[in-house]
Amino acid sequence: PGDDNRYIYFSNRAACFNQVGEYTRAVEDCTIALTYNARFFKTLYRRAQAYERLGKKAHAIADLEQLLVLHPNNSQGREYYNRITGKVPATADGAAAGLLQPAPS
């Protein structure tokens, strides 16, 4: 029997790793968290932050695009995306080139 909150535990630990500058460990924990719940916006946001700090801007942008596909009205994710790219992404119903598709339910 699994613990349905495992994604929260890993995502929260990733937030702690981001706070202390352990960005590689934050990416690892976010990746694990996403295996339990690929739709949790905080995990995608936190992994994008870690990727950006590791100098992996393309990975950060991909996570933010995924976040906005899944949660198009997430203002925090949209502001971060706008800052990192300098542009405005398409909405989920306005298929922009390169946007990742939502994970199957």
Q: For the segment 19-50, what is each residue's pLDDT rounded down to a tens digit?
A: 999 999 999 999 999 999 999 999 999 999 99
pTM > 0.85: no
Stretch among 42-46, 63-67, 89-93 having the lowest mean pLDDT? 89-93
pLDDT band at 87 (very low <50, low <70, confident <90, very high): confident
Query: Which residue type does 38 have?
Result: A
